[in-house]
Chains A and B, each alone.
Chain A
Amino acid sequence: MITLLRKEIRAQWRTHRVLIVAALLLLFGLTSPLLVRYLPDIINSLGGLPPEFAELIPPPSVGDAIAQYIKNLTQFGIVLALLVPMGAVVREKERGTAAMLLSKPVSRASFLLAKFAALALTFLTGLVLAGLGGYYYSGVLFEWLDLGRFSLLNGLLWLYFLVYVALTLLASTLARSQVAAGGMAFVLYLLLLVPESIPPLGNYLPGAVVMWGGRLALGQAGDPAWVALGVSLGLIAAALLGAWGILRGQEI
């Protein structure tokens, strides 16, 4: 398992995936507070707007900055969580590297777990950088948040990404091509997205953990989303177990 994990981490680095994920998450993390702080000024500087319009825009707050941070990271992070792992298994099967590896003393469970762990580390790296950027600019432009609480938000964002990483890994195990894996992962994303927008149901799905993280970061009151946290962990476990079961039955 350690050998495979080392190989996967090296693959993430050599194929620049970790750099791409880190750079994009950092970009969206640090620009979120900047955007919130300077958007009203940008709108006002456009000119030609009636003064009543400018008065309609409320002065931005740290709450807006965190909301923007969550919105940007979840939107673009999900895209990355679908695109980056979609070829993880199917590409190895297509190219023949899976056959080369699995003819050696390698269990199919460790083959999958090493991939998941390396992807988790890639997204963690990106989120640490995004968190540092977002935390710094939120503090400089608005007010300094509690670092521990802000870290909790990022931890929950990480868990949210891992749900989609695990689901995409499942799709990559099931599918016969990378494109099919991507399509399948997108369908799984939609299957979660639709019920998340239905209020009572949404409180128990992965999106709720991110909202909870937002409240935690800002020190706001509100019910903790323990059920959603459990559902998220359960989805990750189910997706990985499903992928393992499928891979075990497959001929390589």
Chain B
Amino acid sequence: MHAIRIEGLRKTFGRVVALDGLDLEVEVGSVFGFLGPNGAGKTTTLRILTGLARADAGRAWVTGLEVGRADIRQRIGYQPEVPAYYGWMTPREFLVDLVAPLFGLSPAEARARADEMLALADLSNVAKRRIAGFSRGMRQRLGLAQALMNHPQVLLLDEPVSGLDPAGRHGILEFIERLRGQMTVFMCTHILADVERVCDSVGIIHQGKLVVQDRRDELLARYAQPVVEVEFDAPLAEVGAWAQGLQGNPLVGGASVEGRVVRLAVRDAEAARVALPGLVAAAGLVVQRYQWSRPSLEDVFLRLVGVA
């Protein structure tokens, strides 16, 4: 059984097609990164899965229950992109008096779980302060805390680290990583580095359609072209001319120039390892750095969604 299964999901807003026959399967216990540019349909998918919006066509299941059933909400935790609260409440009141009883937690369980979650969100010291005065980052962290109150089977996160400072971001991502195996995490984001860091599976959505879905490492192996970076100590014009001259070379999939650094996407890594040093030497320019780079998810993403 999959934690999330989506079949032919379609959603339009007037003339805008937000989802265009989306198909997706997420394994139980995985940390799934749902990647896509802004407006790709990520948030719409989440809103349909939580029951806040309805699909025009297609079906979806969460933990085996078809979306639309009320009991799904007992099994999920949801953090919206911009979590909203009652400003007159304190975070402790929000978790203990509102969120916990909705999931049927006893008062003792609610207090214990709230303390645990507030500590996780690094909000224990402001537990009795009104939420109205909270920063974006504090609200974001409280969003994760409230989504975890019910020990959900599936945790749906919409841009969970947006608005966080580097330390807060690091802490939350580390925590999400630790959830692997305990629950299924479905994380929407457009920050590729975060996905690359914590997700074991990745789905890329573009214009409402799934472009690709696979395990992260397999995706990188399948789609990412090796990259060679060459940094010259030479006039910019000469560096640019050399890069331009490589465009027709069968070894090179693409060349981009940033200052005196030329970034070459390589088609055949083995052949390039033999032939490329000769090509660089033939340029007659002083080389400062010659480096093979590990292909990143960003390379895959840009290639697949065609926005390079």
Contact = CB atoms under 8 A, between A and B. Distances in A.
Interface in B96-125: 97-99, 101-103
Interface string B42-61: 00000100111110000000
A6 interface: yes
Contacts of A59: none
B221 interface: no
Nearest to A107: B70
B80 interface: yes
A103 interface: yes
A7 B98 contact: yes
A105 B88 contact: no
Nearest to A6: B97
A97 interface: yes
Given A100-B83, A103-B50, A251-B53, A3 B70 contact: no
A97 B80 contact: no
A14 B97 CA distance: 15
Instruction: Specify which of B74, B98, B146 lies most central, judged by the most chain A CB atoms within 10 Å of its CB.
Output: B98
B83 A11 contact: no
Given A7-B98, A251-B54, 14 more contacts: A10-B89, A96-B83, A96-B84, A99-B52, A99-B84, A100-B83, A102-B51, A103-B52, A103-B76, A103-B80, A104-B73, A105-B73, A105-B103, A251-B47
Nearest to B102: A104
Given A14-B88, A96-B80, A97-B85, A105 B102 contact: yes
A252 interface: yes
A219 B86 CA distance: 47
Nearest to B49: A103
B212 interface: no
Nearest to B88: A14
A211 to B, nearest CB: 39
Interface in B150-197: none
A95 B74 contact: no
Given A104-B102, A106-B102, A251-B54, A95 B73 contact: no
Contact of A103 (B51, B71, B89, B98): B51
Interface string A145-187: 0000000000000000000000000000000000000000000
A3 B80 contact: no
A100 B84 contact: yes
Contacts of A11: 86, 88
A83 to B, nearest CB: 19
Contacts of B97: 3, 6-7, 10
Contacts of B70: 105, 107
Contact of B88 (A15, A96, A102): A15
Given A105-B73, A251-B53, A100 B101 contact: no
Contacts of B88: 10-11, 14-15
A105 B74 contact: yes
Interface residues of B, number: 27
A103 B86 contact: no
Interface of A: 2-3, 6-7, 10-11, 14-15, 95-97, 99-100, 102-107, 251-252
Contacts of B53: 251-252
Contacts of A251: 47, 52-54
Contacts of A15: 88
A45 B47 CA distance: 69
Contacts of A95: 84
A3 B97 CA distance: 7
B32 interface: no
Given A105-B103, A251-B52, A251-B53, A99 B80 contact: yes
A219 B52 CA distance: 54
Contacts of B51: 102-103
A103 B84 contact: no
B103 A104 contact: yes
Contacts of A107: 70
A240 B48 CA distance: 26
B154 to A, nearest CB: 12
A126 B13 CA distance: 44
Contacts of B73: 103-106
A228 to B, nearest CB: 38
The 7 closest A-B CB pairs, nearest first, are: A96-B84, A14-B88, A3-B101, A251-B53, A103-B50, A103-B78, A252-B52
Interface string B195-206: 000000000000
A102 B102 CA distance: 10
8 contacts: A14-B88, A97-B85, A100-B83, A102-B51, A103-B50, A103-B51, A103-B80, A105-B74
Interface in B24-77: 47, 50-54, 70-71, 73-74, 76
B80 A100 contact: yes
Nearest to A92: B84
B52 A104 contact: no
A201 to B, nearest CB: 41
A6 B100 CA distance: 13
Nearest to B78: A103
A105 B74 CA distance: 6
B79 to A, nearest CB: 9
